[in-house]
């Protein structure tokens, strides 16, 4: 390994040379020489390879140090002509800071653009500038930067208003800009110029250098060794995994190293993966190439000589250095700009800046970043050069004139698409994946074009016109290649074999959409340009058609006395294409002719005579017919590719330059044709001509066809054709087509969207076309058509249509899909019904056409149309065999309505002298001509009015007949006296209406009264129900549902008994004996809960929890050896048990679970589908509510009340207990191997156990076999989950875990009640009550399923923590014990001892004694931990609590005598008492919950509300004196020794002196972290977050833990760690450390909440941030400002606090199966 050796040698060899080097001397030598360039290059050639790239592992620190010393220092000396530390400081003094902010954005940093003032959407501000700008109050858009852009603050061209923020506002004093070079001496300028020129040239040379083994002239190293690097470059083809896999093979590295290589390659664009001699590197290269060349182009690898790599490294360093140096002075910056933009020897485009930009794509990413950064700190910070630079770099139209960029871009683009058919059209199906990839890169060229066109010119120069039109020419060349591309032919017989490629063409179309629109907008700003463009476009279209019409024979059509010549062409038989960009551009320009009135002002300049209307409409018509035929099911065999194309043709992203323009072209063509001719051609293209043309089409059509499919198809085609006619006549909202304002169109779109249903802002945005600035124009008009309704905790804000806008509703709105149409129809009819109006949905009033399109209205009254209308009506009169459809009739009625409205409008607007020639009423009153002599349209309608099968259309027919009557009156009146016309006719119409209305109103009123009566009855019933089930109603509906099948006995209702209720001790109230009967949700059988009957179980979910943790830093315990008997008061880990409350027989559940298991096994074998639950881990979904569960809790009967005879007092009981424990000690010892401590045993014998304690007696379990089995099941599950171990029902820790879970669950529920401000009792959902009862009862019974000695052993150790026991060696000190856990465990374990006692000692008495002692211990615990009093809180109480204060001082002083100076002196008892009272409350409440559920004692009504006096009631219920200190003082002599024992534990002193975790009471509930109000603050925070593992790199997916506030680098290889032998992402790893397996995160870049549970489960959840429209922005795509919604954040917090996150994930995964497949563990 030669490489390794040289690595060690080099530094020492260089040492002497370096020591002798002087930067000053070198610089002065340079000042003397004539050819500085050569001299510096020689210097670099000598030193660079000695500093950089000396071995496999680079050493950046020493490299940088040496480079500074040997390379940069002499340059700086030369530059300054003196010691650079003084020289640069001098320069800095004269520095004028730039008025441009120029802040360069980090990846993910927030950027702001003002939607009102930005010159274009690329103008952005950094957060700081934005906050200090006027735009903060404007409508702004927020985005996250992809990195590399810069802040435009200070650039007056970027902003229409407010270009400066407060910070960059120019001072008036220095407004007279002086030349920055004025401060420098000419010498200095010259030197500066020299250095910059050489260094920049050197850097450019090296970075653009592409030879692997040679260096540019002048840089050849004096001696070169055989040292090479194998350099791997990134590409966009290979995946991370492929690279990692290949590297492991090629260079023999570990997976970790390979990951690190791949990460660097991805970040920097290249990375050396091997160092050594040439052959060594070449070998690695060939392996990599071989391994990656199979499916695609191989990975790029180069074997480069180390000196080349060294110089490239230094070249980057040199650019950094330039950036650093110009930071000292604006003068230096100016010089560097000059150097960079100076034209090189090769003439145009040969400056150093040009060279870099031209080679941009060849450079690796790291190099690009460095030079971009230099550009931004130099060129873009100098106002003068920013403009100059813009010419080079692309800004605004200057480019078009001076660089002819448009032409260049399109030519390049067209050149790239090489595959063409015979007509020169693109053929995308011939492209391979590799080429398709290239195609994507080419598309970015289009992006550049968009950038060029984005700001429209206000003034045109002749040169600009010329260049623009030249660009348009090239553009038309491109369009010609697209016109008619991807043609389709209808497939008959069999289905197509392969779906043809269609996406490429549509991608191209979508990319071009905005460009095409923008070009039209450019044309709209100059008449001359428009006229020329129109001519060019027409020529292009004619050219396209010359190739088209070949072979199409001419035919003559005639109908209703008209005839027309056309060609024979059938869409269903010949080629048809959906791509017609030339026609569509012409359509767009044609509308502009009308809109700009060019058509009227300069008709002579337009080639109008050359237009052939039939030619114009031909292809758009074919395309529309294609859509209709696809609709009619005629193209089913052509597969999905066609369906997709039709979908996109109408889609909002494409329709503006596709469907809309085709319709306009039809309108343009039809307006220039005889309407009869137009309609006949339409009929012919729809292949319906034969149906309507026959002499008596009204009848014969029915009999001809018997093929049902064909009839069905024709029906649909007729419907579609009628719809098309409506659109041609009725779509007048495009400015230029109709006489409308710009905003009328958007208003109409919004109205029609809202006619479907109320919509959120984002839904509307999605339904409306966006322009290139992503603006829809909606904000300008929305308030005039809709009102906004704010969102609640869920859902989002909605816009609702203003009622007065509903009359503009058009059922046949051209942008409705069929689904939209029927939804809108339903909604509008419903609305009419509610308002008591008639159900007709007549067409709305329309604006008049522009003159150019005015003749279109004649379509309505032309003979061919009337013939068609008559035919359909006739079919409706005599329906037979389904050869007719109601939608057909509905459309005909609509068309008739349009005709009538048109006539009415024209009559109203006509002036006296002008006769209205549009006479629709006359035409429809006329009967058909001979020979058929058919009935008139009107007669047919009157006929239909009474047809029983047309009930639905009656209102519409009535509306039509009324209209006819009113128009006739109008005409008569006009004939007599014009002046009264309008009002008169109106009046009559209204009279008819009024009568009708009155009747309707009466009916509506009656209906309303009926409704109200029913509502009143219902609410009465509801009130009744609520009163009866008050508790139930405090739950959410969901909980209600969940609890539907729980136990029906209302055991929690307060009893009416007068005696105060007591839940513990000998005086405890006895619950009424009653049978508890429950129903199994699986078999529906009822079952009584009894110890000896079949087991009933509750579905339950056990999980580890850190929700209440006060110490997230406690290291996780070793599960195998951890002793969980005592819980530390920091509650760092706990086990929570929850339940949905659903009850089953244990055998029903077992059968269900086995079935689920079997099903899963089969499914996994077959499909490898995942489920939301892990059966292998015992998980299942509750069969009723699908709630995630992982075990079941058996239901047990409550404790029996014992007859309490005289019970021993504390002293006596302590004695008995001590004897019992001793007896147990000796009994247990006998069980162990003999001979350990024989001596002690004899001591033991001297104190025999009391007679009544039968230590050898083994009690019988009172439970049935199934209950016993379930006791084991739940115990084992809790043990397994709680400790994260394998199940082992024999483990002595099983009961401990169950008691712990009971205590922990009680504590967490107690906290929840406090947080939710709910009373202690009566407010819990039944499911939680049931869960707590069964947990407590289970806890007291679980010893029966375990070994009695081991449970007794636990009991002994628990008691020893309170009452010193010399035989128990290690007890924790009382500061390390959570008292509620201790209370629960000791009470629940006592059962195992009591079972052997026959003295009549009652369990109640023992519970109370333990409770009292532990309560005292807790008070002592608090006194020891209460902080020093706050002086300001000093307060004398009124005397009511005087006694308590004195007592507590006494107790405290006793403690001080034991502990001495460890406890501070306290003067006031008030403070102590206050601390203890508030601190102990959670414990007392927990104890009350515990004893209530354990003993089944009813709860006092006072605790069902949040009223004062709770303390006394609570103490009473717990059998405690309300002065808790009495517990101590009344038994002082007995408790004093215990107190002494607690205090003398070495742990107490140690902890108090800071040696342990000190928890103070009360423990506050944990909250999720505080979030900022403005979301951009979070984005900003995340953007400065760097990956903790890859040294200062930006993280791609910064993710915030909402529990502890840690920021993580998620979803990235760099931060994967190992967890239980598996690689997991940062979030999953953190989930285990911070949340014991449950995690709540905010993905900052996505604005999305992430829930994780374990390694395999997760879901996304709506973030608590909303925009002003009450919507979230998941994915941050819309960019509206986002603010924190506290209500929603509280909701997330509640899910967390109530341990429902995992359940939420389960529900989300059940609802959305794709969530199951996500690799959550890698997040």
- The CA distance from 328 to 93, in Å, is 9
Q: Residue 1681: left if φ>0, alpha if ψ -120 to 50, beta else—which one?
A: beta
Task: Output the smallest distance, CB 774 to Zn ion, in A.
Answer: 16
Report which DSSP code applies to 847: P
What does the block give as tokens for 1185? 């509510």
Nearer to Zn ion by Cβ, of 872 and 1603: the residue is 1603
Task: Output the smallest distance, CB 130 to Zn ion, in A.
Answer: 8
CA end-to-end distance (rounded Å), the chain = 40
Nearer to Zn ion by Cβ, of 1295 and 1325: the residue is 1325
Nearer to Zn ion by Cβ, of 803 and 1116: the residue is 1116
Which residues, including other chains, have CB under 8 Å from residue 149's CB and lie 6 or more apart? 104, 105, 111, 124
- State the angle between helix axes of 742-756 and 818-834 in degrees (0 to 180), rounded to the nearest 10: 80
What does the block give as tokens for 385? 């050069």
**Do residues 668 and 649 make contact, with C-beta atoms less than 8 angstroms apart?**
no
**Do residues 137 and 1612 make contact, with C-beta atoms less than 8 angstroms apart?**
no
Report which DSSP code applies to 609: G
**Do residues 758 and 748 make contact, with C-beta atoms less than 8 angstroms apart?**
no
What does the block give as tokens for 1640? 């709540």
Task: Output the smallest distance, CB 116 to Zn ion, in A.
Answer: 4
Task: Output the smallest distance, CB 104 to Zn ion, in A.
Answer: 10
| C-alpha 103, offset from chain centre | 29
Task: Output the smallest distance, CB 1589 to Zn ion, in A.
Answer: 5
- The CA distance from 980 to 3, in Å, is 107
What does the block give as tokens for 724? 């098309």
Which residues, including other chains, have CB under 8 Å from residue 1233's CB and lie 6 or more apart? none
Task: Output the smallest distance, CB 1324 to Zn ion, in A.
Answer: 17
Nearer to Zn ion by Cβ, of 539 and 1606: the residue is 1606
Task: Output the smallest distance, CB 1608 to Zn ion, in A.
Answer: 8
Nearer to Zn ion by Cβ, of 153 and 1716: the residue is 153
Task: Output the smallest distance, CB 1148 to Zn ion, in A.
Answer: 3
Nearer to Zn ion by Cβ, of 123 and 866: the residue is 123
Nearer to Zn ion by Cβ, of 1407 and 1590: the residue is 1590
Angle at 648 between CA 643 and CA 654, to 5 degrees: 160
**Do residues 1053 and 1197 make contact, with C-beta atoms less than 8 angstroms apart?**
no
Task: Output the smallest distance, CB 398 to Zn ion, in A.
Answer: 25
Q: Within the chain, how many helices (H) and strands (E) appear?
A: 63, 25
What does the block give as tokens for 1362? 């309170």
Task: Output the smallest distance, CB 332 to Zn ion, in A.
Answer: 22
Report which DSSP code applies to 342: S
Task: Output the smallest distance, CB 457 to Zn ion, in A.
Answer: 23
Nearer to Zn ion by Cβ, of 168 and 677: the residue is 168
Q: Which residues pair with 231 in a beta bridge?
A: 272, 302
- The CA distance from 1244 to 1232, in Å, is 16
Task: Output the smallest distance, CB 1149 to Zn ion, in A.
Answer: 8
Task: Output the smallest distance, CB 645 to Zn ion, in A.
Answer: 41
Nearer to Zn ion by Cβ, of 147 and 1364: the residue is 147
Nearer to Zn ion by Cβ, of 103 and 1128: the residue is 103
Nearer to Zn ion by Cβ, of 1510 and 1612: the residue is 1612
Task: Output the smallest distance, CB 1668 to Zn ion, in A.
Answer: 16
Angle at 448 between CA 447 and CA 453, to 5 degrees: 95
Q: Where does residue 658 rank: exposed (0-12), middle (13-18), buried (19+ CB within 10 A)?
A: buried
**Do residues 1026 and 1033 make contact, with C-beta atoms less than 8 angstroms apart?**
yes
Nearer to Zn ion by Cβ, of 117 and 1345: the residue is 117
Nearer to Zn ion by Cβ, of 379 and 1603: the residue is 1603
Nearer to Zn ion by Cβ, of 584 and 1094: the residue is 1094
b/e code 1012-1049 from CB counts within 10 Å (16+ = b): eeeeeeeeeeeeeeeeeeebeebbeeebeebbebbbee
Nearer to Zn ion by Cβ, of 505 and 1187: the residue is 1187
- The CA distance from 265 to 262, in Å, is 5
Strands 786-789 and 798-801: antiparallel
Q: Which residues pair with 1622 in a beta bridge?
A: 1619
Residues in contact with Zn ion by the rule CB under 5 A = 101, 103, 114, 116-117, 126, 129, 135, 138, 151, 153, 165, 167-168, 1080, 1082-1083, 1140, 1142, 1145, 1148, 1182, 1184-1185, 1187, 1587, 1589, 1601, 1603-1604, 1606, 1609, 1612, 1614-1615, 1634
- The CA distance from 1086 to 1049, in Å, is 13
Task: Output the smallest distance, CB 1079 to Zn ion, in A.
Answer: 9
- The CA distance from 379 to 385, in Å, is 6
Nearer to Zn ion by Cβ, of 450 and 1151: the residue is 1151
Considering only CA atoms, which of 1261, 1306, 1298 is closest in space to residue 1277? 1298
**CA distances, 957 to each of 618, 1135, 1480 (Å):** 35, 72, 80
What does the block give as tokens for 1514? 């609570």
Task: Output the smallest distance, CB 1590 to Zn ion, in A.
Answer: 6
Task: Output the smallest distance, CB 1663 to Zn ion, in A.
Answer: 17
Q: Where does residue 341 rank: exposed (0-12), middle (13-18), buried (19+ CB within 10 A)?
A: middle
Place of tokens 């459309």: 891
- The CA distance from 749 to 1401, in Å, is 84
Neighbours of 315 (CB within 10 A): 25
Considering only CA atoms, which of 864, 863, 828, 858 is closest in space to residue 843? 828
Nearer to Zn ion by Cβ, of 676 and 1103: the residue is 1103
Task: Output the smallest distance, CB 1627 to Zn ion, in A.
Answer: 10
Nearer to Zn ion by Cβ, of 1112 and 1691: the residue is 1112
């Amino acid at each position: 390994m030669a490489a390794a050796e040289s690595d060690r040698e080099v530094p020492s060899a260089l040492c002497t040379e370096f020591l002798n080097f002087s930067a000053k001397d070198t610089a002065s030598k340079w000042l003397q020489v004539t050819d500085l360039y050569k001299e510096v290059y020689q210097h670099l050639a000598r030193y660079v390879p000695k500093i950089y790239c000396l071995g496999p592992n680079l050493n950046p620190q020493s490299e940088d140090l040496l480079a500074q010393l040997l390379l940069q220092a002499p340059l700086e000396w030369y530059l300054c002509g003196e010691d650079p530390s003084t020289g640069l400081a001098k320069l800095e003094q004269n520095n004028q800071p730039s008025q441009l902010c120029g802040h360069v954005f980090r990846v993910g940093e927030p950027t702001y653009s003002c939607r009102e003032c930005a010159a274009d959407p690329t103008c952005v501000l950094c957060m700081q500038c934005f906050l200090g700008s006027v735009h903060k109050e404007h409508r702004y858009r927020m985005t996250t930067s992809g990195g590399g852009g810069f802040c435009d603050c200070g650039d007056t061209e970027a902003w229409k208003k407010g270009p400066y923020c407060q910070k960059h506002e120019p001072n008036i004093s220095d407004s007279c800009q002086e030349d920055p070079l004025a401060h420098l001496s000419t010498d200095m300028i010259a030197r500066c110029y020299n250095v910059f020129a050489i260094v920049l040239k050197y850097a450019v040379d090296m970075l653009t250098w592409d030879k692997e083994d040679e260096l540019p002239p002048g840089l050849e190293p004096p001696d070169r060794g055989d040292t090479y690097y194998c350099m791997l470059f990134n590409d966009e083809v290979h995946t991370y995994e492929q690279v990692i896999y290949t590297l492991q093979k090629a260079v023999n590295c570990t997976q970790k190293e390979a990951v690190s290589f791949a990460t660097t390659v991805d970040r920097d664009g290249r990375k050396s993966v091997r160092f050594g001699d040439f052959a060594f590197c070449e070998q690695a290269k060939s392996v990599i190439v071989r391994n990656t060349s199979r499916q695609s182009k191989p990975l790029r690898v180069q074997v480069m000589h180390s000196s080349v790599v060294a110089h490239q490294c230094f070249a980057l360093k040199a650019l950094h250095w330039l950036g650093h140096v110009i930071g000292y002075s604006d003068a230096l910056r100016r010089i560097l700009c000059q150097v960079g933009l100076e034209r090189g020897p090769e003439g145009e485009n040969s400056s150093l800046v040009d060279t870099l930009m031209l080679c941009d794509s060849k450079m690796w990413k790291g190099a690009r970043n460095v030079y971009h950064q230099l550009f931004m700190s130099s060129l873009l910070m100098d106002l003068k050069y920013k403009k100059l630079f813009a010419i080079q770099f692309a800004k605004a139209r200057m480019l078009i004139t001076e660089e002819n960029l448009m032409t260049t871009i399109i030519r390049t683009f067209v050149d790239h698409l090489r595959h063409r058919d015979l007509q020169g059209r693109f053929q995308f199906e011939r492209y391979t994946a590799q080429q398709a990839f290239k195609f994507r890169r080419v598309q970015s060229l289009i992006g550049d074009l968009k950038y060029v066109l984005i700001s429209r010119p206000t003034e045109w120069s002749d040169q600009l016109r010329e260049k623009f039109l030249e660009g348009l020419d090239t553009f038309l060349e491109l369009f010609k290649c697209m016109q008619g591309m991807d043609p389709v032919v209808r497939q008959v017989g069999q289905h197509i074999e392969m779906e043809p490629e269609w996406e490429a063409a549509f991608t191209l179309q979508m990319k071009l959409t905005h460009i095409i629109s923008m070009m039209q907008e450019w044309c709209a700003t100059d008449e001359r340009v428009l006229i020329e463009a129109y001519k060019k476009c027409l020529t292009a279209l004619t050219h396209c058609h010359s190739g088209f019409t070949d072979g199409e024979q001419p035919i003559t059509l005639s109908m209703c006395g008209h005839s027309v010549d056309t060609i024979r062409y059938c869409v269903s038989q010949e080629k048809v294409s959906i791509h017609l960009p030339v026609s569509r551009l012409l359509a767009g320009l044609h509308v502009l002719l009308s809109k700009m009135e060019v058509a009227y002002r300069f008709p002579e300049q337009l080639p109008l005579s050359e237009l052939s209307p039939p030619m114009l409409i031909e292809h758009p018509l074919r395309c529309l017919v294609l859509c209709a035929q696809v609709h009619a099911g005629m193209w089913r065999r052509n597969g999905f590719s066609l369906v997709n194309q039709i979908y996109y043709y109408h889609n909002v992203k494409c329709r503006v330059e596709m469907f809309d323009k085709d319709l306009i072209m039809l309108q343009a063509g039809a307006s220039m044709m005889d309407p009869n001719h137009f309609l006949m051609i339409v009929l012919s293209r729809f292949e319906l001509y034969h149906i309507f043309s026959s002499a008596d089409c009204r009848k014969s059509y029915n009999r001809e066809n018997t093929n049902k499919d064909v009839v069905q198809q024709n029906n649909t085609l007729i419907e579609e054709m009628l719809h098309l006619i409506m659109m041609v006549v009725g779509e007048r909202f495009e400015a230029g087509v109709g006489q409308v304002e710009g905003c009328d169109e958007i208003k109409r779109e919004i109205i029609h969207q809202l006619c479907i249903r109320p919509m959120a802002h984002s839904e509307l945005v999605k339904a409306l076309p966006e322009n290139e600035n992503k603006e829809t124009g909606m904000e300008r008009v929305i308030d005039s058509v809709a009102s906004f309704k704010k969102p609640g905790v869920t859902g989002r804000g909605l816009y609702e249509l203003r009622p007065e806008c509903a009359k503009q509703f058009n059922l046949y709105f051209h942008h409705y899909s069929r689904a939209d149409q029927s939804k809108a129809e339903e909604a509008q009819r419903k609305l009419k019904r509610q308002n008591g109006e008639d159900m007709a949905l007549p067409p709305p009033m329309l604006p008049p056409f522009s003159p150019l399109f005015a003749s279109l209205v004649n379509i309505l009254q032309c003979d061919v149309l009337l013939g068609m209308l008559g035919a359909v009506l006739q079919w409706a009169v005599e329906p037979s065999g389904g050869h007719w459809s109601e939608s057909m009739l509905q459309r005909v009625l609509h068309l008739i309505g349009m005709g009538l409205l048109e006539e009415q409008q024209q009559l109203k607007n006509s002036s006296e002298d002008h006769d209205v020639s549009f006479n629709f009423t006359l035409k429809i009153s006329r009967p058909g001509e001979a020979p058929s002599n058919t009935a008139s349209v009107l007669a047919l309608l009157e006929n239909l009015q009474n047809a029983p099968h047309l009930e639905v259309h009656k209102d519409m027919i009535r509306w039509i007949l009324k209209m006819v009557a009113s128009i006739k009156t109008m005409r008569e009146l006009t004939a007599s006296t014009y002046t009264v016309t309008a009002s008169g006719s109106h009046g009559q119409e209204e009279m008819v209406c009024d009568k009708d209305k009155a009747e309707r109103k009466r009916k509506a009123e009656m209906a309303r009264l009926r409704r109200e009566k029913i509502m009143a009855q219902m609410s009465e019933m509801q009130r009744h129900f609520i009163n009866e089930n008050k508790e139930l109603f405090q739950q959410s509906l969901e909980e209600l549902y969940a609890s539907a099948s729980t136990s029906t006995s209302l055991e929690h209702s307060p009893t009416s008994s007068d005696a105060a209720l007591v839940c513990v001790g000998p005086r405890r109230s006895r619950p009424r004996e009653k049978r508890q009967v429950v129903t199994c949700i699986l078999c529906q059988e009822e079952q009584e809960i009894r110890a000896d009957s079949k087991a009933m179980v509750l579905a339950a979910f056990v999980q580890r929890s850190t929700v209440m943790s006060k110490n997230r830093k406690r290291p996780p315990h070793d599960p195998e050896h951890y002793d969980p008997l005592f819980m530390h008061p920091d509650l760092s880990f706990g086990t929570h048990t929850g339940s949905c409350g659903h009850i089953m027989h244990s055998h029903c559940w077992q059968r269900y679970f086995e079935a689920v298991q079997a099903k899963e096994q089969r499914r996994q074998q077959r499909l490898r589908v995942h489920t939301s639950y892990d059966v292998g881990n015992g998980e299942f979904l509750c069969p009723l509510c699908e709630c995630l569960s992982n075990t079941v809790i058996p239901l047990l009967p409550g404790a029996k009340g014992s007859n309490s005879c005289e019970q021993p007092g504390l002293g006596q009981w302590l004695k008995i207990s001590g004897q019992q424990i001793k007896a147990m000690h000796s009994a247990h010892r006998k069980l162990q191997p003999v001979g350990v401590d024989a001596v002690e045993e004899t001591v033991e014998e001297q104190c025999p156990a009391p007679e009544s304690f039968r230590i050898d007696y083994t009690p019988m379990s009172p439970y049935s076999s199934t209950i016993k089995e379930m006791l084991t099941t739940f115990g084992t599950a809790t043990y397994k989950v709680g400790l994260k171990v394998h199940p082992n029902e024999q483990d002595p820790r099983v009961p401990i875990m169950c008691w712990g879970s009971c205590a922990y669950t009680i504590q967490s529920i107690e906290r929840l009640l406090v947080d939710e401000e709910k009373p202690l009792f009566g407010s819990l959902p039944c499911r939680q009550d049931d869960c707590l009862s069964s947990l407590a009862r289970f806890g007291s019974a679980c010893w029966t399923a375990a070994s009695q000695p081991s449970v007794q052993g636990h009991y002994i150790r628990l008691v020893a923590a309170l009452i010193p026991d010399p035989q128990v060696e290690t007890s924790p000190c009382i500061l390390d014990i959570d008292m509620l856990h201790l209370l629960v465990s000791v009470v629940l374990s006592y059962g195992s001892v009591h079972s052997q006692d026959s003295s009549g000692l009652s369990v109640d008495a023992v519970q109370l004694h333990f409770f009292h002692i532990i309560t005292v211990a807790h008070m002592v615990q608090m006194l020891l931990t209460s902080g020093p009093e706050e002086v300001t809180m000093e307060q004398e109480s009124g005397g009511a609590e005087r006694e308590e204060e004195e007592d507590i001082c006494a107790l405290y002083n006793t403690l001080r005598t034991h502990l001495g100076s460890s406890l501070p002196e306290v003067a006031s008892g008030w403070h102590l008492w206050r601390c203890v009272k508030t601190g102990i409350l959670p414990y007392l409440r927990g104890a009350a919950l515990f004893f209530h559920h354990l003993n089944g004692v009813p709860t006092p009504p006072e605790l069902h509300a949040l009223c004062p006096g709770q303390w006394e009631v609570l103490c009473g219920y717990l059998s405690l004196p309300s002065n808790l200190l009495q517990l101590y003082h009344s038994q002082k002599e007995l408790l004093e020794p215990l107190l002494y024992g607690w205090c003398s534990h070495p742990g107490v002193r140690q902890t108090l002196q800071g040696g342990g975790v000190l928890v103070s009471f009360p423990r506050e509930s944990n909250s999720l972290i505080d979030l900022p109000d403005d979301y951009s603050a979070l984005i900003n925070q995340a953007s400065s977050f760097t990956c903790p593992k890859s040294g200062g790199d930006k993280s791609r997916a910064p993710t915030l833990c909402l529990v502890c506030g840690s920021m993580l680098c998620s979803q990235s290889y760099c931060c994967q760690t190992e967890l239980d032998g598996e690689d997991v992402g940062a979030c999953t790893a953190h989930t285990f450390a911070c949340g014991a397996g449950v995690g709540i995160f905010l993905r900052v870049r996505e604005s999305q909440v992430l829930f994780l549970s374990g390694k395999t489960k997760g879901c996304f959840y709506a973030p608590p941030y909303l925009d002003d429209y009450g919507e979230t922005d998941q994915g941050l795509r819309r960019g509206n400002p986002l603010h924190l919604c506290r209500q929603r954040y509280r909701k997330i917090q509640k899910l967390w606090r109530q341990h429902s996150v995992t359940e939420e994930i389960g529900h989300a995964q059940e609802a959305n199966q794709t969530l199951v497949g996500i690799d959550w563990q890698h997040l």
